[in-house]
Chain A
Amino acid sequence: MLVPMVIDGVEVPEDGADHVDHVGELLQRVAAGDDTAFARLYDMMSSRVFGLVLRVLVDRSQSEEVLQEVFLEIWQSASKFAPNRGQGRSWVLTMAHRRAVDRVRSSQASADRDVRVGFRDLEAPRDDVAESVEMRIEGRRVAEAVAALPEAQREAITLAYYGGYSQSEIATLLGSPLGTVKTRMRDGLSRLRTLMGVTT
């Protein structure tokens, strides 16, 4: 049975046979100066980008600024997206994460940053966000997989990805050797792949 599944507002068949990169296609149109495509891309990705940026930065007004920066950069540099080298979603979310981390490291806020930020548990998905059930289930699966990582690996990964800390900062925070932190991250991602059944 083929149940339509909606990812970022785009229906894809549940069996995953449709690997059309909708975001990637839109990026190519954006690169050609198509503002309608830009609007669609924004509608498709903005709440994902905003959620991620907000997660790293916590501060809402800074997050709104970074959200704008990210989409403005997408508009400016969409021609750098190489469809043969990755999916559009990945390109957009990677950029969003980089910009959020840049901001958290450069802003005054970073000095006052609550060390605990990286340790916060991933909140349980709420039911009032308009998103497909399937996507939510996927997000929950990942959150569960992250929670299932050994503590030391989970700590290193969440401090880096959600807290915006560099590996050397994390080593200092945890009082662990840098090499250990690096290894924990690598092992953690590897385990996450296994837990999520990602084939590479």
Chain B
Amino acid sequence: MNESTFAELATGFALSALSPADRRDFEAALAEHPEWEKHVRTEAETVLLLADAVEPVVPPASIREELMARILVTPQTPDAASESDEEDFAAAGPAPVTAPARASTGGMRRRWFTLAASIVAVLALGFGAVTIGQQLTRPAAVVALEQIQGASDAQSASVALSDGGEATAHWSAERGEVVLVSDGMPVIADDQTFELWLVRDGDAIPAGTFGATDGTATALLAGAYQPGDIIAVTIEADGGSPTGEPTSDPIVAIATA
């Protein structure tokens, strides 16, 4: 591809208007000729004018509240130093909304310790693109499980599920974390989810939702565990119980001490 053809593609790219095939050609050419990035930058600056021409619209205040709550339980992508070749205007890529959870679990955990009270409110909200469940079943839960098992006060307890499966809670009071590992979870409808609860002093505190793959799931409970909490799972409507309280009897209940 010559530079003039590339410059033309850069226009389409800046306007988010490339066909998938052109997009691939564009990226390949940019990788081969990093010096052509100047065209991308020029076009992007011009396109920014088009954004400025749009009237700002103040979004509902509830969105700010939800976001401020959601970031408390959303891991961040680790420093991108190793990804310095990431294309410019990195937003360009069809980036997944869910981020890799590894490496930032430490930060998350600290947040959970200090901000447990607000997280409880967070998890009761219905989320759009990213469900907490997706995050919980990602490696964060596996990492947390290893950390719990490595803790000096690691404990676990299992219960049989009604239709043959088994659920095991692993917890560490020192870490304030609980991971629930289960197999043989019942099949639920597409518009349903499993919701985790920490039952404390008779109150059920929402602790995230999760889905099972072939009945198997590993889920890290959101919220700081306290000794004596009962770990429970109920089946709720997608997004979790809208009221923030269980709407059905638990299919799992594990007492801890």
Determine if B59 and A47 form an interchain contact, defined as CB atoms under 8 angstroms apart. Answer: yes
Bitwise interface map of A from 149 to 181 toward B, beta carbon under 8 Å scored 1, else 0: 000000001001110111110100000000000
Determine if A31 and B74 form an interchain contact, defined as CB atoms under 8 angstroms apart. Answer: no
> What residues of chain A lie closer than 8 Å to B95, measured between beta carbons?
73, 77
Which chain A residues have a beta carbon within 8 Å of chain B's beta carbons?
31, 33, 35, 38-39, 42-43, 46-48, 50-52, 54-55, 64-65, 67-69, 71-73, 75-82, 85-86, 89-99, 101-102, 122-123, 125-126, 129-131, 138-139, 142-143, 145-146, 157, 160-162, 164-168, 170, 182-183, 185-186, 189-190, 192-193, 196, 198, 200
B189 within 8 A of A: no
Checking B18, B55, B60, B64 against A129 with a beta-carbon cut-off of 8 angstroms, the contacting residue is: B55
Determine if A102 and B48 form an interchain contact, defined as CB atoms under 8 angstroms apart. Answer: no
Determine if B7 and A186 form an interchain contact, defined as CB atoms under 8 angstroms apart. Answer: yes
Which chain B residues have a beta carbon within 8 Å of chain A's beta carbons?
7-8, 11-12, 14-19, 22, 41-60, 63-64, 66-68, 70-72, 74-80, 83-84, 86, 88-92, 94-95, 97, 99, 107, 128-130
Checking B12, B43, B66 against A182 with a beta-carbon cut-off of 8 angstroms, the contacting residue is: B12
> What residues of chain B lie closer than 8 Å to A138, measured between beta carbons?
52
Chain A residue, CB-CB nearest to B59: A50
Chain A residue, CB-CB nearest to B41: A86
> What residues of chain A lie closer than 8 Å to B76, measured between beta carbons?
31, 33, 75-79
Checking B17, B84, B89, B129 against A185 with a beta-carbon cut-off of 8 angstroms, the contacting residue is: B17
- Are A189 and B14 CB-contacts (below 8 A) given A71-B67, A91-B89, A94-B44? yes
Determine if A166 and B55 form an interchain contact, defined as CB atoms under 8 angstroms apart. Answer: no
What are the 8 tightest A-B residue pairs by CB atom distance, in nearest-first order?
A95-B91, A142-B53, A47-B56, A160-B17, A76-B99, A80-B90, A51-B57, A50-B59
